[in-house]
Structure 1
Amino acid sequence: MTDALSVVSQLRDLASEPQNREAIVQDQGCLPGLVLFLDHKNPEVLFATLQTLRYLAEFSPNIPNMKNELGMMVSLENLMESKGMSVDITNLAQEVYEILSARANPIPRTAQQERRKKSQFFINSSNNKAKSVTLHIQGLDSTTQRGLCEEALLKVKGVISFTFQMASRRCTVRIRSDLPTESLASAIAATKVLSAQQVVKNESGEEVLIPLNPCGVKVQENSALPDYLPEEESPERGVDRAISRTTAKEDSSGSWLNSAASFLSKTFYW
């Protein structure tokens, strides 16, 4: 059964990928639903919601829509002023509020708040949630090179699965959220014949390749091969999909994002 925490956690993981942020805010159900979650009684739901909003605000064209969303700023102010909330929640609410309001004179922070500021938002970096990374792999021209790439990726601790699109020299890798992308590049570079760049979408929606520096990145290897096999090669028609989901596949009822938006917009009580 779908619940608030699982939905907002999935949405947060989607929002952590830059190419998804515009689509989430443009969806008619997601943003209003996130505002509703700002009044949730569960601190975990509140924190995950604020993390999601913080990710979405990283895409600057989203800010006007987020700021003008009914109830957004009022709910953030309420969290900032709440006496019963944890420091993590009030700090993050204040950070999102300041970004959306573009305050010239931010609300002063205490020394303790400043010390916690850098770590609070990325507190989920140590959890077991997965994220997807798309790589463009130079040298991925044959089944031999593909085999080398598979062996390299299977050795990296934190890799969950991967899918190849050989025609475009792409590999989509699902990894733990706390695994640096550079670790993948380092493992691939160790083959001596392959190199990797990350594929992301810029603010105009165009795909760009980001160089990854594999030098000096320590790769933590699996002590034994994991008990799973790499996924089959995926069809090319899925490559340009705007939303890159980290879990849950599409079913006959529609995309996961639509299901999440529907849940968010219809859930007015907890």
Structure 2
Amino acid sequence: MMDALSVVSQLRDLASEPQNREVIVQDQGCLPGLVLFLDHQNPDVLFATLQTLRYLAELPPNIPTMKNELGMMVSLENLMAREGLSVDITALAQEVYDILNAPANPPPRSPERQRRKKSQFFINSTNKKAKSITLHIRGLDSSDQRGLCEEALLKVRGVISFTFQMASKRCTVRIRSDLPTESLATAIAATKVLSAQQVVKNEAGEEVYVPLNPSELEVPQNSALPDYLPEEEDESPEKKADRAISRTTAKEDSSGSWLNAAAGFLTKTFYW
């Protein structure tokens, strides 16, 4: 049975894949439903909704549609001003709001400002409570290893969002500023098959790897984890690779795609 948290968690997982972001935003039910979730009382639903919107906003053509969606900007403003929310939720709401509200054609920046902007990937310039870490992950060779890494990072309290670049075996992680980078290495090393190094630039502007020694300190854990897309036992490797996009594009399937079912839930169940 679908509930708000399971629906938005699965939408977030779909939105984490770049090829799905346009389809989700164009769907008539999903974007309005996400706006409604911004008024939800469950902080887990709020956080997952903001993560989903952050992923969708990574595709520039999506931004005008998202900004013009009825209630989107007002709901984000209300969320930023809402009392009693965690720093993670407030900071992510501010980030999504700033991305959607940015000028369509910003004035050209000087080379120095461009360099500073690149070093602040995923971080709003006014947000000092979060930081972005780029990791090179040894062993990140397949979707199975990516799944292990996702599970490890999602368990760390203080991780706000992350994206993968599988071709270069990298993961960009946005975390609270008070979370030690070594905590990420410790969580990843706990998988027993993966290890992480931090990617930084030296004085010459060249990328170098900095070893991260897993710490002996206890890694802060999230107490509750959302539901994720179920694995299907009979899937071949070819079908498994296409699972996310097939769920969003198979509109003609007689049983209906998962996205259609989610959109139906979003548009018909407004009792929260």
Task: Please tell me whether Structure 1 or Structure 2 has the larger radius of gyration of its CA atoms.
Answer: 1
* Structure-2 residue corresponding to 1:116: 130
Aligned pair in 2 of structure 1 residues 234, 29: CA closer, same or farther (>3 Å)? same
Alpha-carbon distance in 2 for matches of 1:229, 1:268: 30
CA gap of 1:78–1:176, structure 2 versus 1, over 3 A, is same
1:264 matched to 2:249? The reply is no
Alignment of 1:235-254 (within 5 A): 243=245, 252-254=254-256
Contact persistence 1:16–1:52 (CA under 8 A)? yes
Quote the residue 2:81 is aligned against: 81
Please tell me the root mean square deviation across aligned C-alpha atoms, in Å. 4.2
Q: CA deviation at 1:245?
A: 5.2
Q: 1:240 to 1:5 in 2, by over 3 A?
A: closer
1:188 aligned partner? none
CA drift at 1:79: 0.6
**Cα distance in 2 for residues equivalent to 1:114 and 1:245:** 38
Is the 8 Å Cα contact of residues 91 and 129 (structure 2) preserved in structure 1?
no
Mapping for residues 88-127 of structure 1, pairs under 5 Å? 88-102=88-102, 109=126, 113-118=127-132
Aligned to 2:96, what secondary structure does the other structure show? helix
Amino acid at match of 1:97: Y
What letter corresponds to residue 159 of structure 1 in structure 2?
D
Distance 1:87 1:211, change over 3 A: closer
Distance (Å, rounded) in 1 between the aligned partners of 2:235 and 2:51: 33
Shift, 1:175, TM fit:
5.1
Q: What does the per-residue CA deviation read over 1:85-138, in whole Å, with 9 as the maximum and x for residues that have no partner?
A: 21111111110000000067x9984xxx5132548xxxxxxxxxxxxx9x8xxx
Where in structure 1 do 4 or more consecutive aligned residues deviate above 6 Å?
238-242
SS at match of 1:60: coil
CA contact (8 A) 1:23 1:242 kept: no
Secondary structure, aligned partner of 1:221 = coil
**For the Cα contact (< 8 Å) 2:38–2:46, is it kept in 1?**
yes
- Match runs of 1:19-168 below 5 Å: 19-102=19-102, 109=126, 113-118=127-132, 159=144
2:223 matches 1:220: no
Aligned CA distance change for structure 1 residues 32 and 235 (closer, same or farther; 3 Å): same
CA drift of 1:5 comes to 0.3
- Distance (whole Å) between structure 1 residues aligned to residue 4 and residue 100 of structure 2: 24
Going from structure 1 to structure 2, the CA distance change for 1:70 and 1:221 (only over 3 Å counts) comes to same
- 1:233 corresponds to 2:236: yes
For residues 11 and 253 of structure 2, the distance between their equivalents in structure 1, rounded to whole angstroms, comes to: 18
What TM-score results when the alignment is normalised by the length of structure 2? 0.55
CA distance in 2 between partners of 1:52 and 1:232 (Å): 26
Q: Distance in 2 between matches of 1:8 and 1:68?
A: 21
Which ranges of structure 1 fall in alignment gaps of 5 or more residues? 120-132, 136-152, 161-172, 181-199, 201-209, 223-227
Q: What CA distance in whole angstroms lies between the structure 1 residues aligned with 2:125 and 2:102?
A: 14
| Percent identity of paired positions between Structure 1 and Structure 2 | 64
Q: Is the 8 A contact 2:21 2:59 kept in 1?
A: yes
Distance 1:99 1:4 in 2: 25
TM-score normalised by the chain length of structure 1: 0.55
Query: Between Structure 1 and Structure 2, how many residues are aligned?
Result: 181
CA displacement at 1:178 relative to structure 2: 4.7
